[in-house]
Amino acid sequence: MPPSDTTPLLPQSSREQTPAPQGDSHPITLRACHSPWRFINQKGLFSIRSLLVSYLTSVAGVALKYKLESKDDHDGWRIPFQFSTVAFVLQWTYHLLALTWTGVHTFQSSNTEPDDDSEDSPVQARIARFFSPSRQPSTIERISFSMFYTVSHVFPLLNTLLYWTVLVPAGHGGFKPPEFPSHRHNPSNSTVVFYDPNKGLFEEDDIKAFSILNIWSITAIIAFVEMVFLNSIRRQSPIVGHVAGILVASGLYLAWASIGKLATDHWGLFFLDPKLMGNSTGAAVAAGAGFVAVSPVIFTYVYGLIAMRESITAAH
């Protein structure tokens, strides 16, 4: 079995004649299948990824039950348009993809990349190729996956930040807000507070507390663990392109939330609703612009975190 299948991906030697694109010695799709830390081997990484996917899938079921059973003036179709749902689905999809690639790469690593000339049947070869990480991705494939990786980690972090710094202090966190010196939103006649104003987070029922902590907190911790410990993906390049991509992704969510408003009469984030912003369309527009503007700040944190991991692992 090649060393790269059981050890962290190492930089390409200066004696090697063929330089990799963008100064990287390994494709980004392969880096998603390798931890940068020597104490996490391939089988260990596969086990960790299996646990994470199982956990996130369980969280999805419990959180969906919580959201569907929450009393609301709107039906269950509001859920796909909520930012927390979009962020969670992106993160879950990334982890499912990474698990699949890691499993195929680990347990078929003694073979070359599947091809039509292998001993397997053509159907088996196509299936194996479909579920395998590309060893020679095109520039478009590399950038597309890099953007997907970036957005699927920026959004969960942004979701957590918005929840604890905006939604909870404003009284939209689903439980009694902590006693912070802040101005809280006073619901209008068309809005109902769907939680006991005398109960804190840990005084709510178990399913509700579990859902809130996981959807708006644990997902951020999982994103941190993924970026630092579970993959060898390098800092995003080009930076300007990724910043632009993050801005576009945030803008696309606002468009998606607008569709949700038309379909369900419910905004995925309360500050996008002029009625909840003092009947001020300008305030809602400004809040939406602020939402888009914050996303590159989260990207800066992600970029710095990856740079820190690269520096530490290179030193060891």
Tokens of 160: 């957590």
DSSP designation for 38: T
Q: Which range among 16-20, 148-152, 185-189, 210-214 shows the weakest confidence by mean pLDDT?
A: 16-20
DSSP designation for 232: -
The CA distance from 215 to 84, in Å, is 7
What single string gives the DSSP state of each residue in 143-165?
HHHHHHHHHHHHHHHHHHHHIII
Task: Please give the radius of gyration of the chain, using alpha carbons only, rounded to the nearest integer.
Answer: 22
Domain range spanning residue 92?
22-315
The reply to whether 295 falls in a domain is yes
For residue 10, is pLDDT > 70? Answer: no
pLDDT bin (cut points 50, 70, 90) of residue 196 is low
pLDDT bin (cut points 50, 70, 90) of residue 2 is very low
What's the confidence (pLDDT) of residue 23?
A: 54
The CA distance from 223 to 305, in Å, is 11
The CA distance from 70 to 261, in Å, is 19
pLDDT, tens only, 278-309: 999 999 999 999 999 999 999 999 999 999 99
The CA distance from 125 to 67, in Å, is 42
The reply to whether 253 falls in a domain is yes
DSSP designation for 20: P
For residue 190, is pLDDT > 50? Answer: no
CA atoms within 13 A on the CB side of 295: 27
The reply to whether 217 falls in a domain is yes
The reply to whether 17 falls in a domain is no
The CA distance from 8 to 316, in Å, is 11
What's the confidence (pLDDT) of residue 174?
A: 82
The reply to whether 251 falls in a domain is yes
Percent of the chain whose pLDDT exceeds 90: 66
pLDDT, tens only, 223-279: 999 999 999 999 999 999 999 999 999 999 999 999 999 999 999 999 999 999 999
pLDDT bin (cut points 50, 70, 90) of residue 98 is very high
pLDDT, tens only, 106-143: 988 545 455 555 555 677 777 777 788 888 889 999 99
- At 282, give phi and psi (nearest 5°): -60, -40
Report the predicted TM-score, pTM, of the whole model to 2 decimal places: 0.86
pLDDT bin (cut points 50, 70, 90) of residue 15 is very low
The reply to whether 235 falls in a domain is yes
Closest to 232 (Cα-Cα) out of 19, 29, 90, 94 = 29
Give the mean pLDDT of the chain: 85
What's the confidence (pLDDT) of residue 16?
A: 39
The reply to whether 1 falls in a domain is no
Q: Would you say how long the chain is, in residues?
A: 316
Task: Please classify residue 230 by burial: count the beta carbons closer than 10 Å to its beta carbon, then call 0-12 exposed, 13-18 middle and 19+ buried.
Answer: buried
The CA distance from 27 to 224, in Å, is 22
- At 153, give phi and psi (nearest 5°): -110, -35
The reply to whether 164 falls in a domain is yes
Number of domains present in the structure of the chain: 1
Sole residue written with tokens 């699927």: 152
pLDDT bin (cut points 50, 70, 90) of residue 202 is low
The CA distance from 123 to 127, in Å, is 6
What's the confidence (pLDDT) of residue 3?
A: 43
Q: Which range among 42-51, 65-74, 144-153, 301-310 shows the weakest confidence by mean pLDDT?
A: 65-74
Amino acid identity, position 156:
P
